[in-house]
A and B are shown apart, each in its own frame.
Chain A
Amino acid sequence: MGSRSGAACDLTSHSLLTAEQKAIYQAPDLVRRTLGFASSVAIVGLSTKRQKASYFVATFLKSRGIKIIPVHPKADRILGEKVYPTLKDIPEPVDVVNIFRPSHECPIYAAQAVDINAKVFWLQLGLFNEEAATIAGAGGLDVIMDLCIKMEYGRYDGTMRFLGMNTGVLTSKKAQIGRISSHEDVDLSECLL
């Protein structure tokens, strides 16, 4: 193996994706662009339990000023936000549809994400479904798979490095408060760097 961990080092080296698929579904530019403009994220499968990964992610996104919209069949409110039983019940614009459900269910959510005019269809770490990607892609959505939206945010706003994780971000440019590192177009509020 060569020296792989340049910028955008692929942290998910245990990834389900081939190198070609990563280039499409984990492209650093796509990830950073998404983090930069996302102001509302619908989270399908957001748990009501505070120790589940989805709850961590939702708490984190909320703290960054991002509107989270829980999608859950039974719950009423999660993290203080009104819950909708399906994506199609959400009455407001959704930028990113973020999935915490098994891979095989993803084509259904992809079709719904197209119907509600979401911009990005994002499957969490460990999830991959090419059929879902095709549906979302044909509907005009960008698709990200097998990445955690919290980890990616922490990678590019610099906070993940506080825990000694390999962000793969390498630059001689001075960090900017409230901005994703070395990306001039992206403005993040309440960033810690």
Chain B
Amino acid sequence: MSKPDQKRDFGFETRMLHAGHVPDAVTGSRAVPIYQTTSYVFDSPQYAAELFDLKQYGNIYTRINNPTTAAFEERIASLEEGAGAVATSSGMAAQLVTMMTLLEPGDEVVASQHLYGGTRTQFVHTFRKLGVTAHFVDPDDFDAWEAAINSKTRALYAETIGNPQGSVVDISRLAALAESNNCPLIIDNTFATPYLCQPLNHGAHISLHSATKFVGGHGNSIGGVIIESGRFDYSHYPTIANPSPSYHNLRFYDTFGLHGFLMKARVETVRDTGSCLSPFNAFLLIQGLETLSIRMDRHVKNAMAIARYLEDDPNVEYVAYPGLESSPYHELALRYCPRGPGAVFSFGLRGADPRGAGRRFIEALNLFSHLANVGDARSLVIHPASTTHQQLSDEELVASGIDPGMIRLSIGLETEEDLLWDLDQALRAI
């Protein structure tokens, strides 16, 4: 009789469905149950004391850990081949928890300037309140990265696929630069998802997600997650190596080794900021993960067809999708996202009044939903110049990397021909 095959390297789809959950010993529940509880009865006073001292692996309080959330965490950690993961209440919280775990007042971060606007705002304004300074550089310019790094730099930060430029970052080169400066490289992998890119396998040390997007995939739950490789040497990295005054002078790296960062993020930062994921949202995000590869293949297929269609339309000035051969990031996309560089991209409308054309285009659409999100199963659209950035002049728009006729699409899972029909009739109406 063959033994349980513990040496097999299971494939991505198998892990999508099975990692992080063994059917429960008592009920045998096949689906991951929703543990909608705040707290957990301790085995004994002795056990409780050891649990609070982190000497036991166990459930403490849902603000710190929860079995449903833990299944989500282990599953996504397995998909990106990390040592583990910590889920958070949102993608913004994932960033903040990561940075608050790593940084102290006076520390600095060097980040790509091709970032989600909310991230940039957090890095500039909220970090300032914490005494942390962020510098932003052109992600393609490695001289600029090096020039911005100094003795206070504690982390490098970039997005796998940046918007609205559709830029793909050279992760392995950036990871080498980070390591040579004793910094972890943090990659926001939201747009690529664990299926299209595994940043840790390219040398990044921390990968994080707004799980709200393609991971959940159905536009119903806000959530975030931090995955860590377990490969960064924190022995000379102050916050993780030094005794922690908030945990009886515990040295997280010395005691937990490859789990040091993750333990500190969970039992200090998430504990103290209250930025935990709700178990119900964790359950919904798990449902998303179970079909991730199948959905992403279709998202990419639809995105590719639409990008090619738009590129040939006379009303379209440009299409910033790295899946297109015309993109300056095509080579990097093939290297880091060989199955396709996601399904969120921007394009520009041509004409004398591109801002007005953008407004008319949005009004004419029937299937694309006009809203501020990406990564839904449904196709989404937004025209920054008439919504999020409407207060800016044309010149100010261009300075912030957005042109008046720029439209951002998040391509969903609808029938490809129907999406092409909707875009075509809207382009004819402007």
Which B residues are in CB contact (< 8 Å) with A55?
A: 55
Residues of A within 8 A of B70 (CB): 161-164
Q: Which of B18, B28, B231, B259 contacts A165 (CB 8 A)?
A: B259
**In the assembled complex, B372 has its CB within 8 A of some CB on chain A:** no
Stretch touching chain A among B5-13, B90-98, B383-391: B5-13
Q: What 1/0 flags go to B5-37 for Cβ under 8 Å of A?
A: 111111110110011101111101000000000
Q: Are B65 and A8 in contact (CB-based, < 8 A)?
A: no
Whether A175 touches B24, Cβ cut-off 8 Å, given contacts A63-B47, A126-B257, A164-B65, is: yes
Is B250's CB within 8 Å of the partner chain A? yes
Q: A48 → chain B, closest Cβ, in Å?
A: 15
B176 within 8 A of A: no
Q: From the candidates A7, A126, A167, name the one contacting B5 in the complex (CB within 8 A).
A: A7
A59 lies within 8 A of B201 (CB):
no
On whether the beta carbons of B56 and A60 are closer than 8 Å, the reply is yes
- Is A165 a contact of B6 with CB atoms below 8 Å? no
Among B58, B198, B249, residue most surrounded by chain A Cβ atoms (within 10 Å): B58
What 0/1 pattern do residues 61 to 83 of A give for CB contact below 8 A with B? Answer: 00100000000000000000000
The stretch among B76-84, B117-125, B297-305, B347-355 that forms the contact with chain A is: B76-84
Whether the Cβ atoms of B50 and A163 lie closer than 8 Å is no
Residue of B nearest to A182 (CB): B4
Q: Chain A residues near B7 (CB, 8 Å)?
A: 6-8, 28
Does the CB pair B250–A51 fall under 8 Å? yes
**Size of B's binding interface in residues, CB under 8 A:** 68
The answer to whether A138 has its CB under 8 Å from any CB of chain B is: no
The one of A14, A60, A193 in contact with B231, judged by C-beta atoms closer than 8 angstroms, is A14
Check B77–A159 contact: CB distance below 8 A: no
Q: Jot down 28 A-B pairs with beta carbons below 8 A, ordered by A.
A: A3-B9, A3-B15, A5-B9, A5-B10, A5-B19, A13-B229, A14-B230, A29-B3, A32-B6, A52-B254, A55-B55, A56-B255, A59-B56, A125-B258, A151-B259, A154-B57, A159-B57, A162-B70, A163-B84, A163-B263, A164-B73, A165-B83, A169-B6, A170-B15, A170-B18, A172-B18, A174-B24, A175-B22
Interface: A108 (CB within 8 A): no
- In the assembly, what is the distance between CA of A28 and CA of B5, in Å? 10
Answer whether residue A9 sits at the interface, using C-beta atoms and an 8 A cutoff.
yes
Per the bound structure, the CA–CA distance linking A1 and B9 in Å amounts to: 12
Q: Name the residue on A nearest B8 (C-beta).
A: A6
Q: With CB as the reference atom, state the residue of chain B lying closest to A164.
A: B73
Q: Does A168 contact B (CB under 8 A)?
A: yes
B248 within 8 A of A: yes
Complex interface: chain A residues within 8 A of B3 (CB): 29
- Cβ of B4 and Cβ of A7 under 8 Å apart? yes
Interface of B is mostly: loop
With a cutoff of 8 Å between Cβ atoms, the chain A residues found around residue B233 in the complex are 14
A168 to B58, CA, bound (A): 18
Q: Interface readout for B55-78 with A: 1 if CB under 8 Å, 0 if not?
A: 111110000010101110110011
A117 within 8 Å of B by Cβ? no
Interface membership of chain A positions 144-160, coded 1 if the CB is closer than 8 angstroms to chain B and 0 otherwise: 00001001001000111
- Alpha-carbon separation in the docked complex, A13 to B258 (Å): 9
Contact of B25 with A175 in the complex, beta carbons under 8 Å: yes
Contact B10 A50 (CB under 8 A): no
- Contact status A14-B258, CB under 8 Å: yes
Closest CB in chain A relative to B184 CB, distance in Å? 13
Q: Closest chain B residue to A23 by CB distance?
A: B7
Minimum C-beta distance from B172 to chain A (A): 11
**Cα–Cα, bound, A173→B4 (Å):** 10
Alpha-carbon gap, A169 to B22, bound state (A): 8
Q: A3-B12, A13-B231 are in contact. Are A171 and B81 (CB under 8 A)?
A: no
Docked Cα-Cα span, A1 to B53, in Å, equals 37
Cα distance A102–B53 in the bound complex, in angstroms: 26
Which A residues touch B58, using CB under 8 A? 159, 162, 192
Q: Which of B15, B65, B263 has the most CB of A within 10 A?
A: B15
Cα separation A173 to B198 with both chains bound (whole Å): 29
Q: Is B201 in contact with A1, judged by CB distance below 8 angstroms?
A: yes
Tell me if A134 counts as interface (CB < 8 A to partner B).
no
- Quick one: given A13-B230, A172-B23, are A166 and B258 in contact (CB under 8 Å)? no
A1-41 to B contact mask, C-beta < 8 Å, 1/0? 11111111101111000000000000011001000000000
A7 engages B6 (CB within 8 Å) = yes
Identify 12 new A-B residue pairs, CB closer than 8 A, beyond the known A14-B230, A164-B69, A164-B77: A3-B9, A3-B81, A4-B9, A53-B257, A56-B255, A59-B55, A60-B50, A148-B257, A158-B22, A164-B262, A172-B18, A192-B43
